[in-house]
Structure formats: C-alpha cells, structure tokens
C-alpha cells in the first residue's frame, strides 16, 4: 500500500520519464520494443489528470494534518478534467477546508460545485447540502436554507448528530414562519435522534424554552 501511494505521489514525473525512455528506445530500436514504455507513460498521465491524487488524502486527514491535505489538493492542476465522482469529492474537501478557515464564500462556492456534480454516496450529498443550508441560514436566507436542508434530509444524513442539527434547524425555520405545528414536529424528530454533543444539546435546550409556549 505504501509503495502504491509513492507511485501515485510521483506518477506524473514517472510517466514523463517513461515517455522519454519510450522515445529513446523507439529511435534506437524501433516502435515495438518501446510500446510498453509508451503504454505506461500514457496510462500514468491519464490517471494523474482524470483520477488525481485524492487517495493520498486519507492518512493526513485522519492525522489532522490539514497542511498536507492542502498540499495534495494543490497538485490537482486541472480539476475540471477529474472523473465526475472524484471531482465531486475534490470540491467537497475544498469546501470543508474553506469552512475550517472560515472562508465561507469559498466554502459555499466549492460545496455548490460538488452538489451540482452529485455524489457517489448519498450520505456525502446529504452532508454537503446540510452545510450549504447552515451557511444560508447564517446569511439570513431562510428560504434557501430550508431548501438545502430539506434536500439533505431526503438524501440521507449519515450520523445522528448531524441529523439532529438538520431537524432543529428546520424547527427554527418553521418557528420563524410561525408554523408551530411543523416546528414542534421537527423538534420531536431532533430529540428522537438522541444527540450527545454539547453544542447540539445546548441548541435543543434553547429551542425548548419557546416550544412549550407555542400553540398547536
């Protein structure tokens, strides 16, 4: 596995080297002796531009080494050439990185690009749309926020904490719209997720103060 990662890391330069050797062998010995080197070079370059190095990101992400993740992402020179599911993942990671750096405009841009491409995993698409919904709510665009969060719930959200965030956000949107019955319904769904993180629990407690006073 480590050897394979090294190949991916230096694939572009190894492919160029293979092509240079292929041309040299072609000149000195003819085409057929050089065919394998041509084949390796072309396949290597194609995989570099169409698949990219995203396989290398897993280890530094698990280690929390975001500088290394960014360095790997920067080796994707032409993201538009990436195979569609890989391109979607690329923009999702770029969006998440931008959010970590609190660059919300860039985060929104990248996440929208990923969302437009679709995700090979519905859970990833759900998480993507939830993030877009939360950003829309932060900007005060509740209509767009509701649209994104509804889409996230339909696509499916992988973990109960995020699902609770989606439901409590919908609850707040309907509270703002004074549609109290729907707000209470979403509040019950948020509590049913049984979230454990302090941030989500605090949010539920805050909303609970107003829920009990609502008609409907």
Which helix (DSSP H) or strand (DSSP E) does residue 195 occupy? none
How would you label 28-67 residue by residue, b for 16+ Cβ within 10 Å and e otherwise?
Answer: eeeeeebeebbebbeebbebbbeebbbebbeebeeeeeee
Residue 211 lies in a domain: yes
Residue 177 lies in a domain: yes
**Where does a domain end: 143, 158, 173?**
158
Total structural domains within the chain: 3
Domain that holds residue 88: 63-158
CATH number at residue 81: 1.25.40
List C-alpha distances in Å: 59 to 66, 77, 203: 11, 21, 33
Mean pLDDT of 50-71: 87
Residue 112 lies in a domain: yes
Q: Are 15 and 73 contained in the same domain? A: no
d(CA 69, CA 74): 9
Q: Are 152 and 186 contained in the same domain? A: no
Give tens-digit pLDDT for 87-143. Answer: 988 998 898 888 878 788 888 899 899 888 876 665 678 888 998 999 889 888 999
pTM value is 0.74
């Amino acid at each position: 596995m480590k050897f394979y990662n090294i190949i991916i890391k230096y694939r572009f330069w190894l492919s160029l080297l293979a092509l240079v050797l292929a041309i040299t062998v072609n000149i000195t010995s003819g085409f057929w002796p050089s065919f394998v080197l041509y084949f390796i070079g072309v396949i290597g370059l194609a995989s570099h531009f169409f698949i990219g190095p995203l396989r290398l990101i897993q280890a530094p992400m698990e280690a929390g080494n975001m500088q290394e993740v960014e360095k790997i992402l920067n080796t994707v020179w032409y993201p538009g050439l990436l195979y569609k599911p890989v391109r979607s993942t690329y923009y999702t990671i770029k969006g998440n990185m931008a959010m970590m750096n609190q660059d919300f405009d860039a985060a929104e841009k990248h996440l929208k690009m990923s969302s437009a491409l679709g995700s090979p995993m519905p859970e990833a698409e759900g998480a993507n749309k939830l993030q877009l919904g939360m950003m829309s709510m932060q900007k005060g665009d509740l209509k767009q926020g509701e649209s994104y969060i509804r889409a996230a719930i339909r696509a499916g959200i992988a973990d109960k904490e995020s699902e609770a965030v989606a439901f409590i956000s919908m609850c707040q949107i309907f509270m703002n719209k004074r549609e109290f019955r729907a707000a209470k319904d979403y509040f019950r769904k948020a509590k049913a997720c049984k979230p454990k993180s302090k941030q989500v629990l605090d949010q539920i407690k805050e909303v609970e103060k107003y829920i009990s006073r609502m008609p409907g």
